[in-house]
Amino acid sequence: MVLEVGAAGGLLTRPLLERARIVHAFEIDGRYFGHLDELAAAHEDLRLHKGDALKSDLAALDPPPTALVANLAYNIAIPLIMTTIIALPSLRRWGVMVQRELGERLFAVPSTKAYSAVSVLVQLACRREQSRPVPASAFRPRPRVESAFVTFVRRDGAGEDAPLAQADYMAMDTLVRRAFGQRRKVLTTTLAGASRGGLSLAREDVRAALAGLELSPAARPEELAPRQWVALARTLGWLDTMED
């Protein structure tokens, strides 16, 4: 079962219908509704959803999709990827065409310009399969930006490939986004005052946790790899479960 967001004229929808049992296709632009209605009438395995996928209850899709395949516009790419990671546990695989800089951000490594809160959060939930650049010349009309086709899958193994529990993942989302909100400041500054439940972090708490992990007290958010972020959160008592 496939989720497609931004079906437009059905250029991608048609080959998806040849390969998938069910295609949930979202389109917000009314100019395409007539054509998509005709396509849905001819294919009973197409579920057409007219509206904004980001404002829809994706968890209510029936049957639940197991893959997202889409050519994502710049302004919705990151919000949609993060929403589907959190709200669609049935989703196991992503194959998305995105603007190249966004594709680089998803699986960027620490201490690089592209590395961000989204990099940490996507990598905690998923592992990359492949990323392939797609030149602007591949499109008609030709866009002003370069693109990338990125495929990744949800973590479901053990050890380094083990996923976080849902509550822990949401807690990591809060902590990581707070830290990267002041990207160039040290963690002892950015995390001081963060609170969750009955826990409130002080500067000394963060400094002690960093020392316990043999990390510099002057460490900045972009210097920690995803699993170091989890270790820091656990040392701070930020997560519900005690071990990875």
Residues 7, 42 within the same domain: yes
d(CA 69, CA 62): 17
**What is the spatial distance between Cα 4 and Cα 21, in angstroms, rounded to a whole number?**
13
- By residue range, what is the domain housing residue 184? 166-235
Q: What is the pLDDT of residue 244?
A: 46
Please indicate, yes or no, whether residues 132 and 49 belong to a single structural domain of this protein.
yes
Query: Of 131, 160, 189, which residue sits at a domain end?
Result: 160
Asked, for residue 67, whether it belongs to a domain, the answer is yes
Are 129 and 173 in the same domain? no
**Cβ count within 10 A of residue 4:** 26
Q: Which two tokens stand for residue 155?
A: 């973590």
Instruction: Please tell me the total number of residues recorded for the chain in this structure.
Output: 244
- E-strand stretches of 122-222: 126-134, 147-154, 195-196, 199-200
**Residues linked to residue 4 through DSSP beta bridges, in sequence order:** 25
What are the two backbone dihedrals, phi and then psi, of residue 97, each rounded to the nearest 5 degrees? -95, 120
| 53 plus 71 within the same structural domain | yes
pLDDT in tens, 188-241: 999 999 999 889 999 999 999 999 999 999 999 999 999 999 999 999 999 987
Is the residue at 219 inside a domain?
A: yes
Q: How many domains does the chain have?
A: 2
Query: Considering 108, 134, 160, which residue would you say is the last residue of a domain?
Result: 160
Residue 73: give its domain's CATH number: 3.40.50.150
In a domain, 106, yes or no: yes
Taking the whole predicted model, whether its pTM rises above 0.75 is answered as: yes
- 244 part of a folded domain: no
- The 3-state DSSP class for residue 99 equals strand
User: CA separation (Å) from 127 to 90, 130, 167, 181, 196?
Assistant: 16, 9, 20, 24, 28
- Residue-level pLDDT at 83: 97
111 with 209, same domain: the answer is: no
241 in a domain, yes or no? Answer: no
Calculate what percentage of the chain has a pLDDT beyond 90.
86
Dihedral angle of Cα 73, 153, 223, 180, to the nearest 10 degrees: 40
Asked if residue 243 is part of any domain, the answer here is no
pLDDT of residue 76: 94
Per-residue pLDDT, averaged over 5-31, amounts to 96
Residue 66 in this model has a pLDDT that exceeds 60:
yes
Considering the domain architecture, whether residues 144 and 231 belong to the same structural domain is answered as no
Judge contact between 155 and 163, C-beta under 8 A: yes
Report the half-sphere exposure of 106 (CA within 13 A, side-chain side): 29
209 and 106 fall within a common domain: no
